[in-house]
Amino acid sequence: MSLEVHIEKKLNGFTLRSDFAAGNTATAILGASGCGKSMTLRCIAGIVKPDKGRIVLDERVLFDSEQHIDLPPQQRGVGLLFQNYALFPNMTVEQNILCGLKAERDKAARKARCAGMLRALRLEELASRRPAELSGGQQQRTALARILVGKPKILMLDEPFSALDSYLREEVEGEVGSLLAGFDGTALLVTHNRDEAYRLCRDMIVMDGGQVLRTGITKEVFADPGSTAAARLTGCKNILPCTRVDAHSVRLAGCESLLHLAAEVPEGCTAVGIRAHDFAPCAPGAENALPVELLSASENPFDWNLIFQLPDGTTRLWWKVTQDDPLRGRTRRPGLPLRPAGKASWRWWIIANTSSKRQKSRCGRTGSCSVFMTRRRISWQYRHSAWHPWRTSPRRSSRRTLASGQRRPPSPCSRALPHGGPRWSPPCS
Q: Which residue has the higher pLDDT, 179 or 328?
A: 179
Q: Is residue 115 part of a domain?
A: yes
Mean pLDDT of the chain: 75
pLDDT at residue 287, as a whole number: 78
**pLDDT of 263-319, one tens digit each?**
788 888 888 888 888 776 666 777 777 777 888 888 888 888 888 888 887 888 888
Instruction: Name the domain boundary from 196, 213, 231.
Output: 231
The boundaries of the domain holding residue 88 are 3-231
Could you say which DSSP state residue 147 is in? H
pLDDT at residue 45, as a whole number: 93
Q: Is residue 32 part of a domain?
A: yes
Residues 133 and 9 reside in one and the same domain: yes
Residues 113 and 72 reside in one and the same domain: yes
Residues 220 and 243 reside in one and the same domain: no
Q: Is residue 131 part of a domain?
A: yes
Q: Looking at residues 418-422, what average pLDDT do you find?
A: 36
**pLDDT of 140-179, one tens digit each?**
889 888 988 888 889 999 988 876 777 777 777 887 888 8
pLDDT at residue 285, as a whole number: 75
Q: Is residue 165 part of a domain?
A: yes
pTM above the 0.85 mark? no
Residues 56 and 98 reside in one and the same domain: yes
**pLDDT of 335-360, one tens digit each?**
344 444 433 333 333 333 333 333 33
| DSSP string covering 340-385 | ----STT---EEE---S-------SSSS-EEEEE-TT-EEEEEESS
Distance in angstroms (rounded) separating the CA atoms of residues 24 and 184: 7
Q: How many domains does the chain have?
A: 2
* pLDDT of 257 higher than 60: yes
φ, ψ of residue 328 to 5 degrees: the values are: -75, -20
Distance in angstroms (rounded) separating the CA atoms of residues 327 and 341: 13
Rounded to a whole number of angstroms, the distance between the first and last alpha carbons of the chain is 55
The domain that holds 36 is classified in CATH as: 3.40.50.300
| Chain centre distance of CA 52 | 33
Residues 131 and 244 reside in one and the same domain: no
Range in 31-40, 43-52, 306-315, 409-418 the model is least confident about? 409-418
Residues 22 and 109 reside in one and the same domain: yes
Q: Is residue 109 part of a domain?
A: yes
Range in 48-52, 402-406, 425-429 the model is least confident about? 425-429
pLDDT at residue 29, as a whole number: 96
Distance in angstroms (rounded) separating the CA atoms of residues 86 and 99: 12
Residues 207 and 254 reside in one and the same domain: no
Instruction: Name the domain boundary from 321, 352, 383.
Output: 352
Binned at pLDDT 50, 70 and 90, residue 242 comes out as confident
Sheet (strand 258-260) strand order: 258-260, 249-252, 238-246, 271-274
Nearest Cα to Cα of residue 321 among 299, 294, 352, 348: 299
Residues 188 and 243 reside in one and the same domain: no
Residues 205 and 240 reside in one and the same domain: no
Q: Is residue 26 part of a domain?
A: yes
* pLDDT of 53 higher than 50: yes
Instruction: Name the domain boundary from 317, 352, 387.
Output: 352
pLDDT at residue 411, as a whole number: 41
Q: Is residue 387 part of a domain?
A: no
Strands 378-383, 387-391: pairing is: antiparallel
pLDDT at residue 6, as a whole number: 96
Residues 54 and 201 reside in one and the same domain: yes
Could you say which DSSP state residue 402 is in? P
Q: Is residue 341 part of a domain?
A: yes
Between the alpha carbon of residue 104 and those of residues 113, 151, 372, the distances in Å are 10, 12, 70
Between the alpha carbon of residue 394 and those of residues 400, 412, 418, the distances in Å are 12, 19, 9
Residues 94 and 140 reside in one and the same domain: yes
pLDDT at residue 280, as a whole number: 67
* pLDDT of 250 higher than 80: yes
pLDDT at residue 202, as a whole number: 93
pLDDT at residue 291, as a whole number: 77
Residues 193 and 255 reside in one and the same domain: no
pLDDT at residue 54, as a whole number: 96
Nearest Cα to Cα of residue 394 among 415, 414, 368, 423: 423
